[in-house]
Each structure stands twice: as C-alpha cells, then as structure tokens.
Amino acid sequence: MSADPSPQPVSRRLVNALLGLGALGALGGMAGAVLAYLWPQPGQAAGSDLLTGTAGPLNPQAVGEGQGVVGRSKVGKVLVVRQGGEWIGLSATCSHLGCTVSWNPASKQVECPCHGARYGLRGEVLRGPARQALGRVELKVDAQGIHVAAAGG
Ligand code: FES
C-alpha cells in the first residue's frame, strides 16, 4: 500500500485566517511607518529652533572655516556658512523655483544646482535666473548646536 500523493485540501477557514493575518501585518507596518514619520526626532520637536541634518542636530564643530551646510528647522531649510569666524544663515530655498542651494567654498558663492543661479554670502543675487535675494536667517550657536534665532527677509 502506498501513501496518497494528492495534497490535502486547504480549508477556506485557514485561507481566510492567513489572508487576515497578512492584512493585519500590512496595516501594522503602515501604521508604524506613519507613526515613525509623525513622531518627532530628538532635537527636532515641532517648533524647535535647532537645525538638524540627516544624523540629528547640526554639530558646529563639524562645520569648518569656509564651509557650509544645509539644515532643517522650523523656518525651513537653512544654509549655514562659517566664514571669517562668523556664522551666516540664509534660506536654502532658491528664490527662482525653490531648489535647495548649497555653498561652494571654492567660488565662495551660494549656488543653485537647478538653473545656475548664484548668490553672494549676504544672499544677494549675483547671477540669474533668480531675481530675489535669499532671506537672511539669524543664527545662535551654542553647545547644543546651531539654532535659528530669527528669520527675516
Ligand atoms: S530653482 Fe534655482 S535657479 Fe532655478
């Protein structure tokens, strides 16, 4: 006598239970992702004036003389440049179409990668197509990091 080679029928109840578990797992994963997105990161609480990067609060010691870095804050993206012992803050949002600008230490200019606008260290337009200056952001630097003290125009 040989064993029956035909597979055992799977009950509808078992299939429904497995589908239900799968759906619950997917919903749980989505809920976790939404909570992780909404949950504030350390130093990034809603309304925080502390500038943060991808690895947490921006460390002033990590920004060398003549260097620049973009951080996020309650006022949006801010370009921080350390120049001549001074901390200079500018809106990092290009006034042309909103791309994120960066500091070029070689040219000592703020540059937009999208359409080539250039700005000076005070936010003034040096080359179009941008027409409006970048907004100034007053910074405060302490042991905790780099803070936005005030944002102006
Ligand atoms: S978005 Fe910056 S130059 Fe166009």
Least confident range from 6-10, 53-57, 126-130, 131-135: namely: 6-10
Residue 46: per-residue pLDDT: 44
Asked whether 137 and 148 are in contact (CB, 8 A), the reply is yes
Whether 47 is in a domain gets the answer no
State if residue 120 touches ligand 1 by the CB under 6 angstroms criterion.
no
Least confident range from 21-30, 48-57, 83-92: namely: 21-30
Q: CA nearest 74: which of 95, 94, 45, 98?
A: 45
Output the CA 27–ligand 1 centroid distance in Å.
Answer: 40
State if residue 115 touches ligand 1 by the CB under 6 angstroms criterion.
yes
Per-residue pLDDT, averaged over 40-59, amounts to 71
Instruction: Give one DSSP letter per residue of 25-36, joined into a string.
Output: HHHHHHHHHHHH
Structural domains counted in the chain: 1
CB half-sphere exposure, 153, CA atoms < 13 A: 1
Whether 97 is in a domain gets the answer yes
**Residue 121 to residue 126: CA distance in whole angstroms:** 10
Strand positions, DSSP E, the chain? 52-53, 56-57, 68-73, 76-83, 86-91, 102-104, 109-111, 118-119, 125-127, 136-142, 145-151
Per-residue pLDDT, averaged over 15-28, amounts to 77
Residue 45: per-residue pLDDT: 42
Is the whole model's pTM more than 0.75, yes or no? no
Whether 105 is in a domain gets the answer yes
Whether 59 is in a domain gets the answer yes
Whether 33 is in a domain gets the answer no
Q: Kindly report, residue by residue over 98-128, the tens digit of the pLDDT.
A: 999 999 999 999 999 999 999 999 999 999 9
Say yes or no to pLDDT of 18 above 60: yes
State if residue 90 touches ligand 1 by the CB under 6 angstroms criterion.
no
Whether 133 is in a domain gets the answer yes
Q: What is the CATH number of the domain that holds 70?
A: 2.102.10.10
Burial of 43 (0-12, 13-18, 19+ CB in 10 A): middle
Whether 10 is in a domain gets the answer no
Output the CA 10–ligand 1 centroid distance in Å.
Answer: 60
Range of the domain at 134: 52-151
Query: Which of 91, 100, 102, 112 to mutate for ligand 1's pocket (most ligand atoms within 8 Å of CB)?
Result: 112
Whether 31 is in a domain gets the answer no
